[in-house]
Amino acid sequence: MDSPQTREEWAALVRRVYAGDKKAVERLADLLGVRAYWFHRRRGLSREDAEDLAQDCVWHIFRHLNQFDGANFTAWAYTILRRKLADHFRRHRIPCVPLEDGDLNEPVPEAANDGLLDQAAQSALEEALAALTADERKVLELRHGREAVPYEDLARELGVSPGAARARYVRAREKLKARLRKETRMQAWLARRHS
């Protein structure tokens, strides 16, 4: 797949996306996905984190494509990649607390349920998953099973391009998140997870 080389070629591709050209949408998603993945890998992220962050970036770029001013698409897109990377590091920061000698003998308090769902929340999750289509459940299971399946493998499994696989995963994940946010049985678990 040839990548656009000039500002005009990128702008033309974006115009085709606006016009509803499905091949242009898929091509732009693939190009952005590869660039975003390697951008994040070169900055020290693991393969899985780089894949997840890349798909978040591609999703964000497509959702905000109407904000592109038509001048320099790659500069605009890389600004988003840098901001998303900074957000990722801010969210996953692990504070370092200096320890005193006596601290080593103190027990470390653990969160209630150690991050596991209680019975009510587990039921809510199962109901939310059951409300998804079989394809949506399959995508989520492949990405969140014992070992996350890379998007290339997910694409082969689904018989689509990697960009389309990323898009299907994001849509299924967002649909599940929206259902779980409304579910009162999940509130305590979600509050612990985000604290």
Q: Tell me: do 16 and 74 sit in the same domain.
A: yes
Extended beta strands in the chain, E state = none
DSSP 8-state secondary structure symbol assigned to residue 64:
T
Examine residue 104 and state whether it is found in any structural domain, yes or no: no
Per the CB < 8 A criterion, the answer to whether 181 and 190 are in contact is yes
Examine residue 53 and state whether it is found in any structural domain, yes or no: yes
Q: Tell me: do 156 and 81 sit in the same domain.
A: no
Per the CB < 8 A criterion, the answer to whether 33 and 166 are in contact is yes
Q: Tell me: do 87 and 122 sit in the same domain.
A: no
Q: What pLDDT was estimated at residue 44?
A: 82
Per the CB < 8 A criterion, the answer to whether 139 and 172 are in contact is yes
Examine residue 60 and state whether it is found in any structural domain, yes or no: yes
Q: Tell me: do 86 and 121 sit in the same domain.
A: no
**What is the rounded CA–CA span in Å between residue 58 and residue 164?**
11
* Sequence letter at residue 159: G
Q: Tell me: do 15 and 86 sit in the same domain.
A: yes
Of 140 and 148, more confident: 140
pLDDT per residue as tens digits for the range 36-54 = 998 888 888 888 888 888 8
Q: Tell me: do 139 and 83 sit in the same domain.
A: no
Q: What pLDDT was estimated at residue 149?
A: 73
**91, 126, 146 - which closes a domain:** 91
Give me the CATH number covering residue 13: 1.10.1740
Q: How many domains does the chain divide into? A: 2
Q: Tell me: do 34 and 68 sit in the same domain.
A: yes
pLDDT per residue as tens digits for the range 92-120 = 664 444 444 444 444 444 444 445 567 77
Give residue 135's pLDDT band: very low, low, confident or very high (50, 70, 90): confident
Examine residue 2 and state whether it is found in any structural domain, yes or no: no
Is residue 46 exposed (0-12), middle (13-18) or buried (19+ Cβ within 10 Å)?
Answer: exposed
Share of the chain above pLDDT 70, in %: 80
Q: Tell me: do 83 and 126 sit in the same domain.
A: no
Examine residue 100 and state whether it is found in any structural domain, yes or no: no
Give me the CATH number covering residue 187: 1.10.10.10
Parent domain of 42: 7-91
Give residue 146's pLDDT band: very low, low, confident or very high (50, 70, 90): low
Q: Tell me: do 140 and 74 sit in the same domain.
A: no
C-alpha separations of 128 from 1, 131, 172 in Å? 38, 5, 11
pLDDT per residue as tens digits for the range 3-35 = 788 888 888 999 999 898 999 999 999 899 889
DSSP 8-state secondary structure symbol assigned to residue 146:
S
Q: What pLDDT was estimated at residue 98?
A: 44
117: left (phi over 0), alpha (psi -120 to 50) or beta: beta
Q: What pLDDT was estimated at residue 112?
A: 46
120's CB contacts (< 8 A; 6+ apart) are 185
Q: What pLDDT was estimated at residue 158?
A: 82
Q: What pLDDT was estimated at residue 195?
A: 45
Q: What pLDDT was estimated at residue 114?
A: 47
Is residue 168 exposed (0-12), middle (13-18) or buried (19+ Cβ within 10 Å)?
Answer: buried
Q: Tell me: do 11 and 78 sit in the same domain.
A: yes
